[in-house]
Structure 1
Amino acid sequence: MFKPDKIYYEPAVLGYELGRVLRNKYRDLPWQPIESHNNIEELRNNPNSAFALMKRHIILGVRKTHNYVPNHKSSDFLVPYTSSGCSAACLYCYLVCNYNKCSYLRLFVNREQMLGKLIKTANDSGRELTFEIGSNSDLVLENGLTGNLPWTIEQFGKNERGFITFPTKFADTEPLLGLNHRGRTVVRMSVNPQEIITRVEFGTAPLKERIAAINNLCEAGYRCGLLIAPVVLLENWREQYTGLLDTLQAELSEKLKNSMFIEIILMTYSYIHRAINNEAFPNAVELYDKDLMTGRGRGKYCYKNDVRADAEQFFTQEIEHRFGVGKILYIS
């Protein structure tokens, strides 16, 4: 469980119920007022080597941006919700591209406003919409601090239209098991080989705990999927991912294997990641591989087309062999 060491807060958060709850919960920690959660100068000016230390802070604010972004993968819209950033330190984290070294955990206390817009948008639509509420953070991790996730699931479950969905790399899902979700929440467990979790996904749950958690969520009636993401093509990637798929075949429940869908996303890396990781984690594995990667956009790297094609063929064949045709929702 993440234990913060310091709170930075916009004074306006104390005007909200959740802000006051957090003020009492973490009253023994240092609290430092700030003008804006988007621009904390003393943190922004820290060296890259301080990246992991900044991950121990919590920043509290009021979310002012509520624009939904169309999505065409596992949801209709990406929704800015109750948190952004994360206390974990996955070496490839795409949030680093957005927030640079300031990808620490930010919590937003105006949850009633955010959920209200979500429900209104769902009800105003002429069809069932799915809303991705976990694209900016890990809501299972956040829940250990705020309790927002059971509140969200039960409140949205009262609605007669729409679905919410989120991914997670954490296994602290017991608070979700007894909820009256009414089938309107979709949970996607992110998985990777244990070696990659250990060497790359710092501060996240082990693979076996993730598998146990998603089995339990499926048994509790949630619609569940797996997110093999990002696929990291280290030197022995075929052996690693063959082992992962063998483990999933052996340890996922039959109920989950029969009903699940699978998303596969190959890793995108960047110049920013390399700069931060080289200073903050100098002994960590190097994820950039000039032989396998090519430039994509400003300062980003992705796997070359032939490398991607090889990986896509591997996953398609191996997943169909173990779990049948039609399980893969997409590969990107």
Structure 2
Amino acid sequence: METPSTPAGTDRGSGARRRELLDVRTIYAEEAALALPRGQQVLARWPGAQVVEVPSVQRIPAVHGDEANVGRWVRTKTEVLALGVRKTLTARRNERSANWIAPSTANGCAMACSYCYVPRHKGYANPITVYANIDEVVGYLQRHVTRQGVKPAPDQCDPSAWVYDIGENSDASVDARVSDNVRDLVTAFAAMPTAKASFATKHVNRDLLGYDPRGRTRVRFSVMPEAVARVVDVRTDPVRERIAAVDDFVAAGYEVHLNLSPVIVGEGWLDGWAALLAELDDVLSPAAKAQAAAEVIFLTHNAGLHEVNLGWHPKGEDLLWRPDVQEAKRSGNGMENVRYRARWKAVWVQRLLDLVAERTPWLTVRYAF
């Protein structure tokens, strides 16, 4: 069995990390996806994998509907892929991190952050689903950007460009291990003078340094205090490695921002953020600091995901599930979640913003919630 081929110039550490994240043995695939060039590319990267045709990758009984998969949470992420065709091409208004959420070219992740909102929709497993009709997605986005015209005024997303989040339901740095979808999107946005692609990531994929973004793709490295990340950021790259990669991505032509996310409140939480901000100030170059901005996002959790997590990673729930300081919240997507109690959260948000202003005055916070 083979893992994806390592492109010329990729460091050995990157290849080792690829093998650790993905050892695909089963690919559930829609017939239409198998007929497309991108579907064939995915199959060629794992020629030894068993291919199982399914009517739809949105709900695969053997994957999403089997309660026993909770105990195989990480193994499923490693060994299973789904390959489908994106049926609905719609850009959704956001106006927080981005102006628009682009149609997803992937869903799910090989990493296993225990607070991730994507599995809340899935059931008992959350492997990567990759959509093979990338040409349709790119064509739709090109037409959508053209219809917007020139951005009339600056906003919190960007001073001059329409920003499209291309990784709302996945981690694009990991998706780039599976297929060339991310490369195609970066290439497309490089030719769009009025728009930018954007995605958040917890994985340092140095293959992306060989792309040609021309300043039209924003990479948002998510960071949090290392002690907390070691518990809840399962299978991700260490925070220090994400920080160390910022300068390289800036030099490669990306705009690089930081997600201070999620902010998890507990004993000594503010001290942890003080240490992290000091590290950012010490490590990042003047060039990286000059173009940096941040999003501050406090934890939102979910009762259903809490129950799933108890089956595979209960230690993380000691930090995430805090009924003593949390309250019910209906999120913008209609889901019933829990968040920190509003009156306390307002105080905590301000304390962190004050700390950012003190320790990293060069870091503009685009929004905090």
The count of residues paired between Structure 1 and Structure 2 equals 331
- Aligned match of 1:131: 164
What is the SS of the residue equivalent to 2:218? strand
Q: Is the aligned partner of 1:165 residue 2:198?
A: yes
8 Å CA contact 1:268, 1:302 repeated in 2: yes
8 Å CA contact 2:107, 2:129 repeated in 1: yes
- After TM superposition, the structure 1 = structure 2 runs for residues 89-108 of structure 1, keeping only pairs within 5 Å, are 89-108=112-131
How far apart, CA to CA, are the structure 2 residues paired with 1:326 and 1:42?
Answer: 46
Pairwise CA distance, 1:97 = 2.2
8 Å CA contact 1:133, 1:165 repeated in 2: yes
Q: What percent of counterpart residues are identical?
A: 26
Return the match for 1:296 from 329, 336, 356. Answer: 329
Deviates more, 1:129-138 or 1:41-50: 41-50
Return the match for 2:64 from 44, 54, 61. Answer: 44
Using the size of structure 1 for normalisation, the TM-score is 0.94
Which amino acid counterpart does residue 75 of structure 1 have in structure 2? A
- After TM superposition, the structure 1 = structure 2 runs for residues 210-229 of structure 1, keeping only pairs within 5 Å, are 210-229=242-261
Pairwise CA distance, 1:304 = 0.8
How far apart, CA to CA, are the structure 1 residues paired with 2:142 and 2:74?
Answer: 36
Return the match for 2:346 from 309, 314, 320. Answer: 309
- Aligned match of 1:65: 88
Pairwise CA distance, 1:282 = 3.4
Which deviations, in whole Å up to 9, do the C-alpha atoms of 1:175-228 show, x marking residues without a partner?
232433222111111111111221001011101110122221112232211001
8 Å CA contact 1:61, 1:109 repeated in 2: yes
Q: Is the aligned partner of 1:142 residue 2:175?
A: yes
What is the SS of the residue equivalent to 2:42? helix
Q: Is the aligned partner of 1:271 residue 2:303?
A: yes
How far apart, CA to CA, are the structure 2 residues paired with 1:295 and 1:221?
Answer: 42
Pairwise CA distance, 1:299 = 4.1
How far apart, CA to CA, are the structure 1 residues paired with 2:203 and 2:57?
Answer: 25
Q: Is the aligned partner of 1:327 residue 2:364?
A: yes
Which deviations, in whole Å up to 9, do the C-alpha atoms of 1:74-122 show, x marking residues without a partner?
3111112210111111111011222233432100011010011111111
How far apart, CA to CA, are the structure 1 residues paired with 2:204 and 2:137?
Answer: 25
How far apart, CA to CA, are the structure 1 residues paired with 2:234 and 2:149?
Answer: 42
How far apart, CA to CA, are the structure 2 residues paired with 1:33 and 1:178?
Answer: 34
How far apart, CA to CA, are the structure 2 residues paired with 1:81 and 1:278?
Answer: 29
How far apart, CA to CA, are the structure 2 residues paired with 1:44 and 1:170?
Answer: 25
What is the SS of the residue equivalent to 2:222? strand
Which deviations, in whole Å up to 9, do the C-alpha atoms of 1:34-78 show, x marking residues without a partner?
110012112233113333333231000011021221011131111
Pairwise CA distance, 1:253 = 1.7
Structure 2 unmatched runs, 5+: 1-17, 152-161
What RMSD in Å do the two structures reach over aligned CA positions? 1.7
Which deviations, in whole Å up to 9, do the C-alpha atoms of 1:249-299 show, x marking residues without a partner?
111222111221110000001111210011122344421112211111364
How far apart, CA to CA, are the structure 2 residues paired with 1:42 and 1:181?
Answer: 39
8 Å CA contact 1:51, 1:276 repeated in 2: no
Pairwise CA distance, 1:325 = 6.8
- Aligned match of 1:242: 274
How far apart, CA to CA, are the structure 1 residues paired with 2:44 and 2:223?
Answer: 35
Using the size of structure 2 for normalisation, the TM-score is 0.85
Q: Is the aligned partner of 1:53 residue 2:75?
A: yes
